[in-house]
Amino acid sequence: MNAAVLERRVVTRPMPGPCPVISTGRLVLRPHRMSDAASIAESLADFQVSRMLSRVPQPYDRQDALDWLVPRISGDLNEWALAITTGDDVHIGVVGIELRHGLWHLGYWLNRFYWGRGYMTEAAGAVLERFFRRMPETKLHSGAFADNIASLRVQTKLGFNIVDASQLFSLSRNSMAPHIKTVLDARNLRFSSRP
């Protein structure tokens, strides 16, 4: 079997099981519920959050959140999209891993009022650790707009390496913007929830 066929089989392998529940020191990451729509809409209606994401329109409302939630709750997608919640089950963001263009991608966002507390590194790190335990030979791709220094810092802390830079269209900005592409494999993950 040639290398191209083998690589395609590895890349297109389905997600390893349903969306898990993952607990960290301060957070619970869980599958989404329809009741999360209002919190998602409130977070993504904030242009300071949505401008850092490529596929989120502005304005963003509850119907947009419901449209996003339905396929994830029904299990129609081959991805993990975990709600980031605090101890009182308040939805404050999302960490997701999805197959796009034949490559596994990590994406995430956090409500602006929770920025600067280390929540995203904690949440994304826990998801990556679980993912790589199940799919250790997989490379994960991610990235951030060049003006999203905090997101690039999260990726650096977790062990991602910069591999490219290009222009990417941002739906909320309605324009192209400089984008940094990153990649991570299991050997380079710098997060451990184990003591």
For the chain, give every domain's residue range.
3-11+19-137
Q: Which residues contact 126 (CB under 8 A, 6 or more apart)?
A: 22, 24, 27, 29, 191, 193
First-to-last CA distance in the chain? 42
What pLDDT sits at residue 17? 72
What separation in angstroms does the CA of 26 have from each of 119, 121, 127, 140? 8, 12, 14, 25
Yes or no: say if 60 and 81 are a contact pair by the CB < 8 Å rule.
no
What pLDDT sits at residue 194? 52
What pLDDT sits at residue 75? 79
Yes or no: say if 29 and 4 are a contact pair by the CB < 8 Å rule.
no
What pLDDT sits at residue 10? 44
What pLDDT sits at residue 3? 47
What pLDDT sits at residue 193? 62
How do the pLDDT tens digits run along the chain, 195 residues long?
Answer: 444 444 444 445 666 678 899 999 999 999 999 999 999 999 999 999 999 999 999 999 999 999 999 999 987 788 999 999 997 899 999 999 999 989 999 999 999 999 999 999 999 999 999 999 999 999 999 999 999 999 999 999 999 999 999 999 999 999 999 999 999 999 999 976 654
Question: 3-11+19-137 architecture in CATH?
Answer: 3-Layer(aba) Sandwich (3.40)
CA–CA separation, 147 vs 25, rounded Å? 29
pTM recorded for the entire structure? 0.89
Q: Which residues of 93-108 are buried (b: 16+ CB within 10 A; e: fewer)?
A: bbbbbebeeeebebbb
What pLDDT sits at residue 16? 65
What pLDDT sits at residue 191? 79
